[in-house]
Amino acid sequence: MKRVTLFFIAVLIYFNLSAQITRKLESFNSIKVASAFKVELVKGNDNEVEIIGVPEQYLENVVTEVKNNRLSIYAKDRIKADSEMKIIVTFIDLEEINISGAATIRNNTPIMFNKMNIKSSGASTIKLDADFTDLIIDVSGASDLKLKGNATSYKLKGSGASSIKNGELFSETVEIDLSGASTAMVYVTKNITGEVSGASDLKIVGNPENSYIQKSGAADVKGVKVSFKTTNNSENAINESDTTRFKWRSNTFLIIGDIDTSFKTQKHRYNHWAGLDVGINGFLNSSGSTDLSNNPEVFNNNPKEVTKFMETRLQKSWSVNLNFYEQYIPISKHHVGLVTGLGFEWNNYELRHNVRLTSKGGEYVFDDVNDFNKNYTWGEIDTLRDYSKNRFKTFFINAPLLFELNTGNNKKKSFHISTGAILGFNLQTKMKYKYKVEGDSKKEKDKQDFNTNPFRVSLTARVGYGRFNVFASYSLTPLFENNKGPELYPFSVGVTLLGF
Q: Could you state, in order of their start, the residue ranges of all structural domains in the chain?
A: 16-94, 104-226, 275-499
Shortest CA distance to 488 belongs to which of 218, 288, 298?
A: 288
Let me know: does 340 contact 328? Beta carbons within 8 Å.
Answer: no
| pTM to 2 decimal places | 0.50
CATH among 2.30.110.10, 2.160.20.120, 1.20.58.60, 1.20.1250.20 for 104-226? 2.160.20.120
Cα distance between residue 189 and residue 167, in whole Å = 12
Contacts of 245 (CB under 8 A, 6+ apart): 211, 212, 227, 228, 252, 253, 254, 255
- ∠ CA 167-168-170, nearest 5°, is 100
Q: How many CB atoms lie within 10 A of CB 239?
A: 12
The string of DSSP codes covering 274-295 is: SEEEEEEEEEE-TTS-S-----
pLDDT at 17: 45
Tell me how long the chain is. 500
Distance CA 171, CA 182 (A): 21
* Burial category of 293 from C-beta neighbours within 10 Å (exposed 0-12, middle 13-18, buried 19 and up): exposed
| Gyration radius (Cα) of the chain, Å | 30
- Residue 498, CA distances (Å) to 77, 206, 270, 469 in order: 53, 37, 11, 10
Q: Are strands 455-465 and 468-475 parallel, antiparallel or unpaired?
A: antiparallel
What pLDDT shows up at residue 140?
93
pLDDT for position 129: 96
Q: Are 458 and 350 in contact (CB under 8 A)?
A: no
So what's the pLDDT on residue 19? 55
Give the pLDDT of the chain (500 residues) as one tens digit per residue.
Answer: 445 444 444 444 444 445 578 999 999 999 999 888 899 999 999 999 999 888 888 888 899 999 999 999 998 888 877 667 899 999 999 999 999 988 999 999 999 999 999 999 988 999 999 999 999 999 998 899 999 999 989 999 999 989 999 999 999 999 999 999 899 999 999 999 999 998 899 999 988 888 888 888 888 888 744 333 333 333 333 333 344 545 554 454 545 444 444 444 456 788 999 999 999 999 999 999 999 998 877 777 888 899 999 999 999 999 999 999 999 999 988 899 999 999 999 999 999 999 999 999 999 999 888 988 999 999 999 988 999 999 999 999 999 999 999 998 888 889 999 999 999 999 999 999 999 998 899 999 999 999 999 999 999 999 999 999 999 999 999 999 999 999 999 999 999 998 88
294 vs 426: CA distance, rounded Å: 28
Give the Cα separation of 452 and 308 in Å (integer). 17
CB 273 within 8 A of CB 400: yes
Residue type, 441: S
How far is the first Cα of the chain from the last one, in angstroms, to the nearest whole number?
80
Per the CB < 8 A criterion, the answer to whether 453 and 487 are in contact is: no
d(CA 171, CA 187): 6
Nearest partner of 41 among 81, 94, 83, 85, judged by Cα? 94
Answer for the pair 85, 53: CB distance below 8 angstroms, yes or no.
yes
